[in-house]
Chain A
Amino acid sequence: MINLCAAVLLLLSFAMISQRRTVALVDLFTAQGVTLAVSTLVVALGTGQRHMYYSAALTFALKVIVLPVILRRLIRRLGVQWEAESRLDVTVTMIIGLLVVIFAFGLAEPISALATTVTRSTLGIALAVVLLSFLMMITRRKAVSQVIGFLAMENGLFFAAASATYGMPMLIEFGIALDVLVAVFVLGVFFFQIREQFDSLDLQHLESLKEK
C-alpha cells in the first residue's frame, strides 16, 4: 500500500513536470496532497503511532483543502487560469528527470539500508520527488508554477521524513506547516507586486533588476 502511494507520488511529480497549465498544476498538487495524507494514514495504521494520525489529518487539512483553495483564488484573482508556460521542452526535462530519479535511488540505497522503518524502501522515491520538484522550479518561468514547485518539494521532504523516521516530532511538523502557509501568503503578496511592476508574472522580467 505504501509502495503504491509512493509510486503515485512519483507519477504525479512527473505529471507536474510535463503539465503546462497552471490550474492543472494545482489539481496535481491537490492529488499529491491526498496521496501524502493517505500514505501517512497507512503508516499510522501500520505502526499505531498516535502522532502519525495527527500528522495525516494536518496534511489533509493543509495540503488538500487550505493550500489548493488559496492557490485557486490567487490564480483566479490574478486572471492567469488559462495561461500556459511558453517554451517548455517537455521531452528534455523528462529525460533529465529520469536521470534525477536514478540518482535519487542510488543515493537512498545506503540510507534505507540503515533505516529500520517499514517504509524504508520509499525513501528513494521521496528524494526523487524533492529533486523533481526542484527541477520543476528551475524549468518554470511563471511565478505561480514556481510556488507550486516549492510546495511540491515540501511534500517530498515530508514524505522523506515520514518514510525514514516515521515523521518528525509533532512540534516541528506544526512549525513547518505554518511556515508553508505563511510562505504562500507572502508569495501571494509578491505576485501582485511583481505583476504591478512588470504587468506580467513572467519571472524573465526580473532580469532587469540585475545590477549593471
Chain B
Amino acid sequence: MPWSTWPGYSPIDATLVLAGVWLLLGVAGLTAARNTAFVARIVFPLGALVGLMMLGNAIAGIVAPVGARELLLGLPDMPFHVRQDALSCVFLALLGGGSFGISLFASGYFREGPGAAPGLLGFQYHVFLASMAGVLIADDAYAFMVAWEVMALSSYFLVVTQHKVPAIQRAGFLYLLIAHVGALGILLSFGVLQQGSSLTFEAMRATSRPAVWASIAYFLALFGCGAKAGLLPLHAWLPEAHPAAPSPVSALMSGVMLKMAVYATLRFSLDLIGGPLWWWGLATLVLGLGTALFGVVFAAVQTDMKRLLAWSSIENLGIAFTGVGLTLLFRGFGLDALAAIALLATLYHCLNHACFKSLLFLATGSVLHATGERNFGKLGGLIHHMPWVAGLALVGTLAIAGLPPLNGFVAEWLLLQVFLFTASVPQPFIDMLVPLGAALLALVAALSAYVMVKFYGVVFLGLPREADLEQARDAGVPERLGLGWLALACVLLGVLPVPVLRYLQVVSAQLLGTTLGGRLDSWWLLSPISAERASYGPVFFLVGLVLVVVITAAVMRRLYRAGERRAAAWDCGFGRLDARMQDTAEGFGQPIRRMFGPLFEIHRTVPSPTDRAPVYAVRIEDPLWNRLYRPLGRLVLWLADLVSTLQRGRVSSYLLYSFLTLIALLILVL
C-alpha cells in the first residue's frame, strides 16, 4: 500500500480524524434538522465517503506499526487512551466498508415522514458510527465503556425513530434494558481485571491473575458481549429491535454493531485477560452452536422479512462465537496453528456477515419503501418490478446461504476444516465430542440456505400476492449504489480469499504469534491445513461456473433455433396459475415447525369444520420469553415491591435509616 509509507502518516491519527469528521457531520445535520435535502444529499454521502476512507485507512494501517495515543479528552487525570492494532484494523475496515454502503443507501432512503427529524437522525447515525470507531480503538476501560454506552444509546434512539408507535417503544426499551444489563457485565469484568492498578489496557495486559479471577472476568465479559451479540438467552431484543428500526439502521446494527461484540470478546479473551483456558473455549463453542441452531430454526418459521433477518443474524453471530470458542479451545491447548485458522475463520465470517446481512436488510428497506409491506404473505414476484434490488439481493442471498464462489462459503468451509481437527486435542471426550459440532454447523449452514430460499423465493419470485405490488418501483440510484457496493464486497471476499486471509493473518500474528505462513503463497488456491488435505480455488470455480452457463446457453440457442417465448415458469400447460397456489412463508416453515417442534411454543387456532368463515392462525413464540424473561420480570417486580416497603414517606424513618447506617458503619470501623 503506497500511502502506508507516506511520511507523517499514522493510521491511529487518521482514524481519530475520521471519527471526528463523522461527529462533525452529525452536528452539521443537527443544525439543519428539518432540511431533508441537505441531510440526504450532503451529510449522508459525506459520511459514506468518510466510511470509505476509514476502510482504506484500516487496510493501510494493518501493516503499519501499532500506534497508541493519549487524548486530551476525558476526566481530569483520566485521559482517554486509544490504540490501533491489527484486530482494531480488521473491525475498522468492517465498519468503514459496511458504513460506506449503508450510508450511500441511506442518502436515498430517508425522506420526510413521521418520526424523528432527518437531521436528528443524521446526528444519531453519525454519532453511532463514531462511537463504534471509539469502541474499536479504545485502550482503557474508561474510554471503552464510554464508547460502548454511547453506541448503545445512539442506536437506541435510532431504533425508536418512530417513537409514537407503542410496539416500537417496547422494542426500544427491551433493547436498552438488555444493552445495559450487558454493559454491567463488561463493567464488572473490567473491575475484576483492573485489581487496583490503572484502568489502561496496557496495565491489564501486563498483569497476570489467578485462573479463578481470569475465568470470572472472561465469563462476565462474555455475558456482556453476548447481550450485544444476541447469544442465547440474551437474544430477545434482536427480533424486536430490528423490525422496529429504519432499514439502514437495522443494517448498521446487524451488519456492524453486532460485530463489536465479537471484537470485544476477542479483545478480552486473547488480549486483555490473555492465556485463555480450554474450557472457556468449550463453553463459548457450545453457546455459539446452540445460538446458531436456535437462530436458524426460528428464522425458518418467520413471516416478517426483517424478523427473519434478525433471527438469521442471531444464527450468524452464533457461528462467529463458535469460531471464537474454537480459537480459545485450541489456544488453551497450545495448538496455536489451529487457533490461528479458527481466528481467521471467525474474522472472515464477521466481514462476510457485515456485507451480506447489511445488503439484505437494505434490500428489505427498498422493498418496504416500494410496497409498504414487510410481511411475506403480501409480497411476491417483485423481481419483475424491482430488477436491481432483486438482482443485488440475490447475490446477498446466495452468499448468506453459503454457496461458492461467494463469501459465505469461505468462512464456513474454513470453520469446518478446523472443526475436523479437534481430534488432535489432547483431552479425551473433547476430541471425540467437539467434532460432532461440525455436524451441527453443517446442519445450521444447510438450514440457513433453506431459510434464504424461502426469503428470496417468497419475496422476489412467483406471482405477486397483492394487486398493489404491480405499482412497486425499483430503488433509486444512491440506494442501488449502496446495495451494489455490498454485493461487490460479497463477490470479492468470495473470489479472493487468499489476499483477504493474508490481510487478516496479521491479527493472528499479533494475538497468537502465528500465521498461516507458506500456506497462503498461491493466491488462487486456498489450502489452510495442507494442499493434500483440502483446498479451495474459488477462481477456478467461478470460471468453471461461468463457462458451464455460457456454453449451455450457446448450445441451447444453437439447438433450439425455433425462437424463444416467455411463459409462466410453473404453469405446466395448466394455464391458470394464481398467486394463491404458490407456497407461502408459513408453508416453507411448516417442515421445520414439525421437526423442531419442541423448540417452539406454538399457539394454533383451528376452526371447527362447520365454521362458515374459518380463520386458521398459528402463532409461534420464543419459549425462552415465557420461561425465562417473564419469570425474571416478575421476580424483579416482586423484589422492587419488597424494597418499596422501605419507602415509608416519613422523613423521620429516612433519618432513622441513615442514623442506623451510620452507627453500623461506625461499629464496623471500631
Interface of A with B (CB < 8 Å)?
Answer: 103, 106-107, 110, 131, 134-135, 137-141, 146, 203-204, 206-211
User: Which listed residue (B647, B649, B662) contacts A134, Cβ 8 A?
Assistant: B662
B663–A103 CB distance below 8 A: yes
Residue of B nearest to A140 (CB): B652
User: Which listed residue (A107, A138, A208) contacts B649, Cβ 8 A?
Assistant: A208
Residues of chain B from 632 to 670 with CB closer than 8 A to chain A in the complex: 644, 647-652, 655-656, 658-659, 662-663, 666, 670
Measured between beta carbons, the chain A residues less than 8 angstroms from B649 are: 206-210
Residue of A nearest to B663 (CB): A103
By DSSP majority rule, is chain A's interface helix, strand, loop, or mixed?
A: helix
Measured between beta carbons, the chain B residues less than 8 angstroms from A110 are: 670
Residue of B nearest to A103 (CB): B663
How far is it, in angstroms, between the C-alpha of A106 and the C-alpha of B451 when the chains are bound? Answer: 74
Q: How many residues of B contact A (CB 8 A)?
A: 15
A134–B648 CB distance below 8 A: no
Residue of A nearest to B644 (CB): A211
Measured between beta carbons, the chain A residues less than 8 angstroms from B648 are: 207, 210
What string of 1s and 0s marks CB contacts (under 8 Å) between B350-365 and chain A?
0000000000000000
Measured between beta carbons, the chain B residues less than 8 angstroms from A207 are: 648-650
A138–B655 CB distance below 8 A: yes
Q: How far is the CB of A143 from chain B (nearest CB, A)?
A: 8
Q: Which 6 A-B pairs have the closest CB atoms?
A: A210-B649, A207-B649, A138-B655, A203-B651, A138-B652, A138-B656
How far is it, in angstroms, between the C-alpha of A58 and the C-alpha of B519 when the chains are bound? Answer: 83
Residue of A nearest to B669 (CB): A107
Measured between beta carbons, the chain B residues less than 8 angstroms from A203 are: 650-652
B666–A107 CB distance below 8 A: yes
Q: How far is the CB of B131 from chain A (nearest CB, A)?
A: 35
User: Which listed residue (A135, A146, A208) contacts B659, Cβ 8 A?
Assistant: A135
Measured between beta carbons, the chain B residues less than 8 angstroms from A134 are: 655, 658-659, 662
Q: A134-B655, A208-B649 are in contact. List 10 more A-B contacts (CB 8 A).
A: A107-B670, A110-B670, A137-B655, A138-B652, A138-B659, A140-B652, A141-B652, A203-B651, A204-B650, A206-B651
Measured between beta carbons, the chain A residues less than 8 angstroms from B644 are: 211
B670–A106 CB distance below 8 A: yes
Residue of B nearest to A106 (CB): B670
How far is it, in angstroms, between the C-alpha of A137 and the C-alpha of B659 when the chains are bound? Answer: 10
How far is it, in angstroms, between the C-alpha of A106 and the C-alpha of B669 when the chains are bound? Answer: 12
Measured between beta carbons, the chain B residues less than 8 angstroms from A209 are: 649
How far is it, in angstroms, between the C-alpha of A37 and the C-alpha of B122 when the chains are bound? Answer: 63
Provide 10 A-B residue pairs closer than 8 Å at the C-beta atoms, listed in order of the A residue: A103-B663, A107-B670, A131-B659, A137-B655, A138-B652, A139-B652, A146-B651, A203-B652, A206-B650, A210-B649
How far is it, in angstroms, between the C-alpha of A106 and the C-alpha of B647 when the chains are bound? Answer: 32
Measured between beta carbons, the chain B residues less than 8 angstroms from A131 are: 659, 662-663
A211–B655 CB distance below 8 A: no
Residue of A nearest to B652 (CB): A138
Residue of B nearest to A204 (CB): B650
How far is it, in angstroms, between the C-alpha of A212 and the C-alpha of B653 when the chains are bound? Answer: 17
How far is it, in angstroms, between the C-alpha of A107 and the C-alpha of B655 when the chains are bound? Answer: 21
Residue of A nearest to B657 (CB): A138
- Candidate in B647, B648, B649 with the most chain A CB atoms within 10 angstroms: B649
Residues of chain B from 447 to 506 with CB closer than 8 A to chain A in the complex: none
Measured between beta carbons, the chain B residues less than 8 angstroms from A107 are: 666, 670
Measured between beta carbons, the chain A residues less than 8 angstroms from B656 are: 138
How far is it, in angstroms, between the C-alpha of A14 and the C-alpha of B655 when the chains are bound? Answer: 19
Q: How far is the CB of A148 from chain B (nearest CB, A)?
A: 14
How far is it, in angstroms, between the C-alpha of A209 and the C-alpha of B670 when the chains are bound? Answer: 38
- Candidate in A106, A138, A146, A206 with the most chain B CB atoms within 10 angstroms: A138
Residue of A nearest to B662 (CB): A134
Q: How far is the CB of B51 from chain A (nearest CB, A)?
A: 48
What string of 1s and 0s marks CB contacts (under 8 Å) between B595-618 and chain A?
000000000000000000000000
